[in-house]
Structure 1
Amino acid sequence: YSHFLSLPLSVHPSLVQKLEAFQESVLVSLGIPLLTVAGFVDSGVEKSIFIKPTRFHLTVLMLKLWNEERVEKARGVLEKCLPDVAAALDERPVSVSLKGLEIMRGSPKNTRVLFAKVADADGGSRLSKVCQVMIDAFVEAGLVLGKDGEQELKLHATVMNTSHRRSKSRYRNKGFDATDILAKFGEETWGDYQIMEAHLSERFKYDENGYYHCCGSIPFPGSTVETGVSQGTSQHDT
């Protein structure tokens, strides 16, 4: 995958601060150094597997856009979604409630992805509805390959992912033990946050604000963000 549809959460400074505090609390509780990438420890937890707070987001759809023509087409599809997105949200702002932690499949002792659970703050389903509107538009445009468009949408906010591990290669694909993390932080309440916009994000490339490079975006109701392509300077991951 080269790109994805994302709903940025890192636009909220208070949430970024909570993530930073959470990461520090987890590392301190497990006795892991904060400032360096330590050697592999038995728990499999190290600083590098935490999502960077400036990249915190919800993923709507993964995309394979391997040339500029497909990127341009995807940008156009997203921008054409704007009226349908507004209608699906009843022309009202939508916020998410982030509370609790959960693992993505498998056993807590061999976790690869740990995420914060997501729900509409008002108890409804408008966010899932609007995400499906965008997914359907990309499927109809022929930009979703294979079964990617048929997968059940499970909105979640990843906080730890072993795919980011930077320790020695023989440990790179090893999971981590989330047992203690779930016991101590499993009911963590992050708060309610308004979804401001949807991005066509490029993987492994980042804008000056630290978020994934924006190839195009649309605002959600109640947002003051302008529609269009990010003009920020970008940099590749190294």
Structure 2
Amino acid sequence: MDVMSPQLMWVGTRCYRVNHVSEQRYQTQDDNKPYIEEDLYEEDDRELDYDIEMKEGGKLQTSFHVPSTFFAMIIGSKGTARRRLEAETKTQIIVPKQGTEGDIVVKGTSRKAVAACRQRIELIVLGARTKQQFTHFLSVPLNSSEIKTNYSRFREKVLTELPSLFQLDESLFQRVDKLHLTLCTMSLMDNEDRSHAAQLLQECRETIIEPILADFGAVEIRVRGLEYMNDDPHAVDVLYANVESEALQQIADQMMEYFVANGLMQRKHDRVKLHVTLMNSLFRDSGDGSSGGESDGKRGTRVTFDATAILREFGHYNFGTQKVSEIHLSQRYSTACDGFYEATGMVKI
């Protein structure tokens, strides 16, 4: 039977998969032998992804890092989640005490049971991670003089040439020194998470970036044209510029897959949307004289703005080109000495 295209059978409004049973299995079975339940967690190649050690007494064990923020999700109310998982996988789960750091330990008598339990814990953690506000993002700094100059001109024209159509505040615009492409976002909850993400970024250099560079020679991007989030151009939250680059698109898509496979983010789209945020309602002045949003670590007020005139006048605006030389693991709500975001990791291209 082709497991990717199994035979289906409809009963009323419900669809069932037809599982074919081997008659030979029952013909060769000795009826005098006692029934032994099949070990659903017997050893196979899948547990090779995990480091599972044999301990004294024949016990198998794996230990792995989980940020303490997620311990409560693994334990559950009064320990119910942990007990259920232990019963279903026939394992023992050891979680560090509240207020302490440390690895999660899974013990069992079967390698596959231990691997299955660890995998389910990692899925719990991944689900909990996606509910956190993102703390870091993979970015490409837009630091070419051409793009920075054209962006400054765009901002000045919007603020000075369209005042009669609507009122905009300068704080809605991204700072020139922080212009960037966002490749993907993630929630890194502790130093171990951050170290892991920085290591993955370095691994992407050899496994992803270099092979693509061999085909394209260099990564050049063109930034032009405006688009907006939300459905109504009269009430826009984010206005961004489009980015054109087949080489960077391939790099971004494969890097996203790599970080997803390593459990630091969840796939939301099939492809990375290459874009440069120009205006964001969260950047709006907080009322105390300082800009809110990404720039200062303060959350601004989400009040939409009318972008119809901007789109009409500058919808095809050309911000210029740039060769990509670096990809950063940037820390959200931070500012480095050069005015860009603090880098937790970086690779040169």
- TM-score scaled by length of structure 1: 0.80
Structure index of larger Rg:
2
Return the alpha-carbon distance in structure 2 between the equivalents of residues 136 and 100 of structure 1.
27
Aligned to 1:206, the other structure's residue is in SS state coil
Aligned to 2:243, the other structure's residue is in SS state strand
Which residue in 1 is equivalent to 2:281? 162
**Residue 179 to residue 150, structure 1, CA distance change in 2 (3 Å):** closer
Taking CA–CA contacts closer than 8 Å with sequence separation of 6 or more, which of the two structures ends up with the larger relative contact order? Answer: 1
Match of 2:250 among 129, 150, 157: 129
Alignment length (residue pairs): 202
Which residue in 2 is equivalent to 1:99? 224
Which residue in 2 is equivalent to 1:89? 213
* Pairing 1:29–2:161 present: yes
- TM-score scaled by length of structure 2: 0.55
Return the alpha-carbon distance in structure 1 between the equivalents of residues 187 and 167 of structure 2.
31
More strand by share: 1
Conservation of the 8 A alpha-carbon contact between 2:181 and 2:274: yes
CA RMSD, 1 decimal: 1.9
Conservation of the 8 A alpha-carbon contact between 2:150 and 2:320: no
List per-residue Cα deviations over 1:112-142 (Å, max 9, x = no partner).
Answer: 111111112xxxx221111112112211221
Conservation of the 8 A alpha-carbon contact between 2:140 and 2:182: yes
Aligned-partner residue type, residue 28 of structure 1: T
What is the CA distance between 1:172 and its match in structure 2?
2.2
Return the alpha-carbon distance in structure 1 between the equivalents of residues 196 and 275 of structure 2.
27
Which residue in 2 is equivalent to 1:79? 202
**Residue 214 to residue 103, structure 1, CA distance change in 2 (3 Å):** same
Return the alpha-carbon distance in structure 1 between the equivalents of residues 214 and 301 of structure 2.
45
**Structure 2 stretches of 5 or more lacking a match?**
1-133, 289-299
Which residue in 2 is equivalent to 1:15? 147
List per-residue Cα deviations over 1:194-228 (Å, max 9, x = no partner).
Answer: 111110000001111111111111111xxxxxxxx
Identity between Structure 1 and Structure 2 (%): 31
Instruction: State the 4+ residue runs in structure 1 displaced beyond 4 angstroms.
Output: none
Of 184-193 and 87-96, the range deviating more from structure 2: 87-96
More helix by share: 2
Return the alpha-carbon distance in structure 2 between the equivalents of residues 209 and 30 of structure 1.
32
Match of 1:118 among 213, 237, 243: 243
Conservation of the 8 A alpha-carbon contact between 1:89 and 1:127: no
Return the alpha-carbon distance in structure 2 between the equivalents of residues 61 and 172 of structure 1.
24
